[in-house]
């Protein structure tokens, strides 16, 4: 082959382009991305679309939707604007989902990496701790932590992250156990690279794809857990969240079902978007798995 032929050979597309080509093949994943973008835009424009305080009275109590265009989705039993609550609730739900997911992934990565890399007694101890957490249902443990820490949104978010780290830890451990014997790890050891550098710079980047996919599951579960707490009147009343709206709307469920149905639909669509995003990420990051 001449040098001219080499110069004319097509260059490989960037990884981001390849990722997007794989992702867009899944139409359901594209739908999930569209819904997720809409929810993000709602969170970002909450103060622009409806600058009013979602916790303050905006009209007569229990005004039905599409009756007063000042409150197009109606008002609840206290006269608060449902539309404003939905937009501001998107901001709270995404904040809880993202922060709780980061907490869960951080704890899971550290514990799973140490257990999978070192093995032996380190693995035994860390996995016994993981199993101890898994013996208690997540929601029961969450109720306990909220009862101890309090119902502020910061503590609720931290508590959700604490009860969600076990599955990522097991996934990271499995990935590390399969990667710690590879040639590139042995080469790093022979060069005198420290264990910390090997764990976080050599092995962890290769173990991240399944964790990135599972992060979408944790975000969806985080939103559902916060909503369940708020439904039981254990949420933070100082913030407008979809769970708080549903919990307060159950008192007028028969006379004004929209107070609970509208935020409920928002939760369902948001959780669905995360599920579809996870499916698309799995197809894009693990194309071989789809073919098998």
Looking at the 3D structure of the chain, how many domains does it have? 1
**Confidence band, pLDDT 50/70/90 cuts, at residue 52:** low
Q: Of all residues in the chain, what percent carry a pLDDT higher than 90? A: 42
- DSSP letters, 247-285, are HHHGGGTTT-THHHHHHHHHHHHHHHHHHHHHHHHHHHH
266 is a domain residue:
yes
For 211-220, how does the pLDDT look when each residue is reduced to its tens digit (9 = 90+)? 988 999 999 9
Which structural domain range is residue 187 located in?
15-291
- Supply the CATH number for residue 179's domain: 1.10.3720.10
DSSP assignment, residue 237? T
223 is a domain residue:
yes
For 96-117, how does the pLDDT look when each residue is reduced to its tens digit (9 = 90+)? 999 999 999 999 999 999 999 9
187 is a domain residue:
yes
5 is a domain residue:
no
10 is a domain residue:
no
Q: Of all residues in the chain, what percent carry a pLDDT higher than 70? A: 92
1 is a domain residue:
no
**Confidence band, pLDDT 50/70/90 cuts, at residue 291:** very low
Dihedral sign, Cα of residue 166, residue 170, residue 171, residue 176: positive
Q: How many CB atoms lie within 10 A of CB 199?
A: 21
Whether residue 153 is predicted with pLDDT greater than 80 in this model: the reply is: yes
56 is a domain residue:
yes
pTM for this prediction: 0.87
6 is a domain residue:
no
């Amino acid at each position: 082959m001449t040098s001219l032929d080499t110069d004319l050979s097509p260059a490989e597309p960037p990884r981001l382009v390849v990722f997007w080509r794989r992702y867009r093949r899944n139409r359901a994943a594209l739908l999930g991305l569209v819904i997720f973008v809409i929810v993000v835009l709602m969170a970002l424009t909450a103060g622009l679309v409806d600058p009013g305080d979602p916790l303050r009275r905006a009209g007569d109590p229990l005004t039905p939707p599409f009756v007063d265009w000042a409150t197009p989705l109606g008002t609840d039993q206290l006269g608060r604007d449902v539309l404003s609550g939905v937009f501001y609730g998107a901001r709270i739900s995404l904040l809880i989902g993202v922060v709780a997911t980061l907490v869960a992934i951080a704890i899971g990565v550290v514990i799973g990496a140490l257990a999978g890399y070192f093995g032996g007694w380190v693995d035994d101890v860390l996995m016994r701790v993981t199993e101890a957490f898994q013996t208690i249902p997540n929601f029961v443990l969450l109720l306990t932590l909220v009862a101890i820490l309090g119902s502020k949104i910061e503590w609720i978010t931290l508590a959700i992250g604490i009860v969600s780290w076990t599955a990522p830890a097991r996934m990271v451990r499995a990935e590390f156990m399969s990667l710690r014997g590879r040639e590139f790890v042995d080469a790093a050891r022979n060069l005198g690279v420290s264990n910390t550098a090997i764990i976080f710079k050599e092995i962890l980047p290769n173990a991240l794809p399944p964790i990135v996919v599972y992060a979408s599951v944790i975000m969806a579960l985080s939103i559902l857990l916060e909503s369940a707490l708020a439904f039981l009147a254990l949420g933070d009343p100082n913030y407008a969240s979809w769970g708080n709206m549903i919990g307060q709307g159950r008192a007028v469920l028969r006379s004004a079902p929209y107070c609970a149905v509208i935020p409920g639909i928002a939760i369902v669509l948001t959780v669905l978007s995360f599920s579809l995003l996870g499916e698309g990420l799995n197809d894009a990051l693990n194309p071989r798995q789809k073919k098998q």
